[in-house]
Amino acid sequence: MNSDEFGNSPIGHLVSIAGTDGRFGTAYQDSAYVAHPLAAEPELTAATWRIVTSANRALARLDQASRNVLAPHLLRRPTLRREAQSTSALEGTFAPLEQVLAAEVAENQSSKELAEVMNYVEAANAAFEFVVERSVVTVGLLESVHALLVRGTDAETRDAGRVRTSLVAIGSPTGSIADARFVPMPPGIELDVAVQDVIRWIGASSPDREPLVAAAMAHYQFETIHPFNDGNGRIGRLLIVLQFMIDGLLHEPLLSVSPWFEARRKQYQEELAQVSATGRWDSWVQFFAAGIESSADDIAQRIDRLLAIQQRYVQIVQDASGRGLVRDIVDILIGDPFVSVPKLTKRFDRTSPAVTTAVAKLVELNILSGPFGTYNRQYKAHDVWIALTEPVGSVPDVHAPLHFEG
């Protein structure tokens, strides 16, 4: 690790480390960075506070948009899967978004990468439910999330589901300690205490603390101490949403932050490193707040478009004298753009012939397209798919026609 870069940090210190890297059988003698516990909110410039204020307005708009949805849990599913795909890609695990959204209806499309992304979906849902019920984050919760995240992967080692017991190397081309750009603090009691400290920081909300700034600081701290042997980036970005829920900024976990950070991966990593090196928070908080604002506005726009699509679908069905099961299927499409007859049969507890007839009607009305897939069992709501997958800034306007109307 570059001791010259981090050796004079006012918010951390270096400790000497030495040993043999078990993965390579090579000896190392280096330094690791020990972050000091988070203290008071830092002094920030007026420019930083303007960006923070703007980001808070965007979060408020997103929260209001989620309250306009009769069944907001429907939107949690596609939002979370979009986040799962992107947050995993940031860490080098890539599965196409279409596969992630269609995971339950696809046949024979499983892969190691898709399984790992779906692990994140399961882990995040468990974390959301925990926070909704208890309004806290605990070390035990993070360990449970980690165990689910690495299940069935190469990272499912003896440290799965617990704070790591070995050193980790960040920014190493080989994965070795010797050529790492950054080595987080060594394992042991000090690391255990550091994890507890950051958890206490997350839960210590007060009128004197700005929640978004506190989240930026907590995210930096979590990534810097790097408490797990793998998955720290994914868990750290999940913690952002959990902290916003605890602080009352979001009532539904509909924020997806990773697509913005993924598009700026190098700057994201550099901003975090510069806080450790200099102890200056302004640049990182500005970067973080800009990401939150852009992400919140993007999701709010997608929600508005999805609600407009659903409203138009309902009108099309009503004009065609559709009712019953046809209407029931339309109501869930904003959360499930990919459907199949077997899955709908189970979901609505209806017979296969009844579901087949309803799906055929929706295909006739151009609401669904298909069948396609390995066994011609998948159907897709194309407009919902577009609203969920278009890049930031390219989501169709709320008043844009449907694809078959344009």
One pLDDT digit (tens) per residue for the chain, 406 residues: 888 899 999 999 999 999 988 777 888 899 999 999 998 899 999 999 999 999 999 999 999 988 888 788 889 999 999 999 999 998 888 898 988 988 888 765 678 999 999 999 999 999 999 999 999 999 999 999 999 999 999 999 999 999 999 999 998 888 888 888 999 999 999 999 999 999 999 998 777 889 999 999 999 999 999 999 999 999 999 999 999 999 999 999 999 999 999 899 999 999 999 999 999 999 999 999 999 999 999 999 999 999 999 999 999 999 999 889 999 999 999 999 999 999 999 999 999 999 999 999 999 999 999 898 766 689 999 999 999 999 888 999 999 999 988 6
What pTM did the predictor assign? 0.93
Q: Does domain 308-389 have CATH number 3.40.50.300?
A: no
Q: Give the whole-angstrom CA distance, residue 325 versus residue 358.
A: 6
Query: Each residue of 181-209: b (16+ CB within 10 Å) or e?
Result: ebbbbbbeeebeebbebbbebbeeeeeee
Number of other residues whose CB lies within 10 A of the CB of residue 74: 18
Q: Which residues of the chain does CATH 1.10.10.10 include?
A: 308-389
CB neighbours of 393 closer than 8 A, spacing ≥ 6? 298
CB neighbours of 243 closer than 8 A, spacing ≥ 6? 137, 202, 211, 214, 215, 218
Q: Which residues of the chain does CATH 1.10.3290.10 include?
A: 3-300
Q: Give the whole-angstrom CA distance, residue 289 versus residue 250.
A: 15
**284 close to 269: Cβ distance less than 8 angstroms:** no
CATH topology of domain 3-300: Fic-like fold (1.10.3290)
* Triad 84, 159, 164: Cα angle to 5°: 90
